[in-house]
Amino acid sequence: MKTVDFGKNMKVQLHPSNKPYMELVQEKVAQLELQYTDQEDAFFIADLGDVARKYDKWRELLPRVEPFYAVKCNTDPAVLKLLARLGTGFDCASQDEIHQVLKQGVNPDRIVFANPVKTKKFITYAAKQKVDLMTFDNVPELIKIKNLFPAARLVLRILPPQDFKVQCQLGNKFGCHPDDTYDLLVEAKKLGLNVVGISFHVGSGVAEAEAFSAAVEVAAQVFKEGEELGFNFNLLDIGGGFPGHEAAPITMEEIAPVLNEALNKHFPPKRNVRIIAEPGRFFVASAFTLTVCVIGKRSVRQYFAKGKKEDPDGKGAFMYYVNDGVYGSFNCLLYDHAEVEAKLVNAAVNPMEFVTSIWGPTCDGLDQILKATKLPELEVGDRLNFPDMGAYTMCASSTFNGMPRPKLFYHCPETVWNRLFPGSLRVVSHSVPMMKAGHQLEKRDMDAVLSASPTPVCFLDNEEEVFKVFN
């Protein structure tokens, strides 16, 4: 496979467009098994092509809505750089997130500081960097902004209707109730501040399309209040909550027509209102998969009595310990209310399945990934893969108990890469042995891999004007 450099410590392997992701995982496992010190390592594979395809889908389904990627969802620099190149805006919640985005060469007018409650230090930093679009939902925030950044363009975050099913509620923390918006706008007027529009967030991981249409209707009512007070509202921020993987309870294809109809009804193009959104998981959830290694195993047949629903056939159960857990990438189980699925990577095929629990590597009993699933019997050294692990995973992970974070490898279909960066990265030569999964390697394959001489991979990054060679 060709390897290109996407920036500091970001090498991207290009592969054929029709290559299944599990094949990429198996090849990476085989490579790691040849490295004595790294053969157990957990790792992410990030498909940057998946992120690019999501951008295309967004433009197709919501042509009037500009995406401002929610940086908090996944702060990976390759994701930020790719989305910056594609032309998205960015939803930032802190000084550090603003800094990360500005490092990608993004113009400050492509950033919305979408945190209704900011520290004085953060507001001062935003003013210095000319990031002037920011949200608020209370009077004390207005006073801070008046004192530190009076020229800011403000967006009033309102509380949308809360009677819809979502993965994570946000209305319990942010959003001015519609009954109080008029008085809050009056205070903004008294302070001489420039309120330019309305924002809302229906909740992360929405399950009902009508949540968006109901929120748009309420936003239209608050727009009228602003106009009555003499504000020139020209911006609507419809927030996030958009699904990012196939297992989500609702699809973008189901949300888009409902949302578009509401926008065209309440904010038709003739009103000249700029419409933005803050999608996070939509762009990255399905782009990242996580592969872990079984590092320990226990038989717990004594925990199950024959006849119980968890073990109706009396076969017993197994506990497996893997090298990432809820203090690491699986924090999404606690913080994001996520559900995960374990897939076999290199275990021997066996039709007999057992009740299985999967545990993380720390010493805490809370560190459980799956309580009761069905898997064949595994051995120490076998691998499990968890798809759809790009949203709210690595960004909130820790190294509790001294456990390392997984490695990260970037991939992209070559056709997608060439479309995104025509001529920007020229591969001069490439010759890398095609790898098989560890359990598929025969002795002649292993000998060929171990004896192969690495051929230099050379390319020129025209944007950074750097010529590099990789051996």
**Per-residue H/E/C for the chain:** CEEEECCCCCEEEEECCCCCHHHHHHHHHHHHHCCCCCCCCCEEEEEHHHHHHHHHHHHHHCCCEEEEEEHHHCCCHHHHHHHHHHCCEEEECCHHHHHHHHCCCCCHHHEEECCCCCCHHHHHHHHHCCCCEEEECCHHHHHHHHHHCCCCEEEEEECCCCCCCEEECCCCCCCECCCCHHHHHHHHHHCCCEEEEEECCCCEEECCCHHHHHHHHHHHHHHHHHHHCCCCCCEEECCCCCCCCCCCCCCHHHHHHHHHHHHHHHCCHHHCCEEEECCCHHHHHHHEEEEEEEEEEEECHHHCCCCCCCCCCCCCEEEEEECCCCCCHHHHHHHCCCCCCCEECCCCCCCCCEEEEEECCCCCCCCEEEEEEEECCCCCCCEEEECCCCCCCHHHCCCHHHCCCCEEEEEEEHHHHHHHCCCCEEEEECCCCCCCCHHHCCHHHHHHHHHCCCCCEEEEECCCCEEEEEC
Do the Cβ atoms of 44 and 406 come closer than 8 Å?
yes
Domains, the chain, ordered by start: 75-279 (3.20.20.10)
**Would you state the pLDDT for residue 383?**
96
Tokens of 260: 């578009």
Which residues are part of the catalytic machinery?
363
Tell me the per-residue pLDDT of 47-101, one tens digit each, with 9 for 90 and over: 999 999 999 999 999 999 999 999 999 999 999 999 999 999 999 999 999 999 9
At 157-202, the pLDDT tens digits run 999 887 755 555 555 678 999 999 999 999 999 999 999 999 999 9
Name the stretches of the chain with pLDDT < 50. 304-307, 426, 428-471
Q: Are 249 and 288 in contact (CB under 8 A)?
A: no
Across the chain, mean pLDDT equals 86
Query: Is-above-0.75 flag for pTM?
Result: yes
Q: What is the predicted pLDDT for the residue at 336?
A: 78
In tens, the pLDDT along 223-240 reads 999 999 999 999 999 999
